[in-house]
Amino acid sequence: MAPPRKPETDTILDAARGLVLSEGPRTASVAAIAKASGAPVGTRYHRFGNRDGVVTVAWLRALVRFHTRAIAASGSDPLEVAAQMAAATVGFARDCAEDARLLLTMRPDDMRDAEPTPS
């Protein structure tokens, strides 16, 4: 018999992002993320350390996705590059709406140790 399949990291990060967006940053407890992702609590601790780790990694994943698009702008005309970056920002918000909302929703205090709101 094959060993149980490990939950995908993106599944866990998507669950954390979904909880933050639907119920607020402090509702994304380790237990709530485990329930939403279907992954054991120990998986989160092993991969991310704690609740703040998984929420921070979800935010950083969104930031990398945005930056990848924005820094693709190139050219010698600064106005053209600025226009490309603006178009990349709009495209990101359209194509990756949940990541865009996460970037705009999270604040530094949301990614620091504190008691989560009970879910």
Give the model's pLDDT for residue 3. Answer: 57
| Complete DSSP assignment for the chain | -PPPPPPPHHHHHHHHHHHHHHH-GGG--HHHHHHHHT--HHHHHHHHSSHHHHHHHHHHHHHHHHHHHHTT---S-HHHHHHHHHHHHHHHHHHTHHHHHHHHH--GGGGSS-PPPP-
pTM: predicted TM-score of the whole model, two decimal places: 0.83
Of 95, 75, 73, the C-alpha closest to 84 is 73
Give the model's pLDDT for residue 109. Answer: 83
What span, in angstroms and rounded, lies between the C-alpha atoms of 117 and 16? 14
pLDDT band at 103 (very low <50, low <70, confident <90, very high): very high
Reported as a single tens digit per residue, the pLDDT across 2-47 is: 555 666 899 999 999 999 999 998 888 889 999 999 988 888 788 8
CATH code linked to domain 9-107: 1.10.357.10
Give the model's pLDDT for residue 56. Answer: 92
Give the model's pLDDT for residue 115. Answer: 45
Please state the domain extents for the chain. 9-107
Reported as a single tens digit per residue, the pLDDT across 36-78 is: 999 888 887 888 888 889 999 999 999 999 999 999 999 999 9
What span, in angstroms and rounded, lies between the C-alpha atoms of 45 and 30? 8
